[in-house]
């Protein structure tokens, strides 16, 4: 059975949930939007931090911790953004780290977005 995770994030008009739980697994995708649903200004560091803050909020709203995260897929729109994203990302995790992949993509759903993550966690 799939259940939506209730968060305090901006309620998207798109047909999506910010996160769901199913069969003891947590699934989410997060983007760099603020409480009004606007993509934050300030370049990749500001967007990475907003994305990771949204992610941490969603993980905790599901009753989990960052230590429960098992895999993260990172998307950035330029190779030189990845070291900056990595620096911010490292502030949110401790060893043992989640499995991870990073991709450089031509673009994301909103033109001004520089990053996005998809992540999974196991319910203890």
- Evaluate if residue 55 carries a pLDDT over 90: yes
CA distances from 109 to 14, 32, 68, 76, 92 (A): 11, 12, 28, 12, 25
115-122/69-76 β-pairing: antiparallel
Kindly state which CATH superfamily the domain 19-122 is placed in: RutC-like (3.30.1330.40)
Structure confidence by residue, pLDDT tens digits, 91-110? 999 999 999 999 999 999 99
Mean model confidence pLDDT for the chain: 97
pLDDT value for 124:
86
% of the chain surpassing 90 pLDDT: 97
Element holding 57 (H helix, E strand): helix 43-61
Structure confidence by residue, pLDDT tens digits, 26-41? 999 999 999 999 999 9
Q: Residue 23: helix, strand or coil by DSSP?
A: coil
Q: Buried (b) or exposed (e) across 74-96, using 16+ Cβ within 10 A?
A: bbbbeeebbebbeebbeeeeeee
């Amino acid at each position: 059975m799939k259940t939506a995770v209730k968060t305090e994030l901006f309620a998207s008009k798109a047909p999506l949930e910010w996160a769901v739980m199913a069969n003891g697994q947590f699934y989410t995708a997060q983007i760099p939007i603020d409480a009004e649903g606007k993509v934050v200004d300030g370049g990749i560091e500001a967007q990475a931090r907003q994305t990771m803050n949204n992610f941490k909020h969603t993980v905790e709203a599901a009753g989990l911790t960052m230590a429960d995260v098992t895999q993260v897929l990172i998307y950035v729109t330029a190779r030189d953004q990845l070291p900056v994203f990595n620096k911010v990302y490292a502030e949110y995790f401790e060893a043992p780290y989640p499995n991870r992949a990073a991709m450089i993509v031509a673009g994301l759903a909103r033109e001004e977005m520089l990053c996005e993550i998809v992540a999974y966690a196991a319910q203890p």
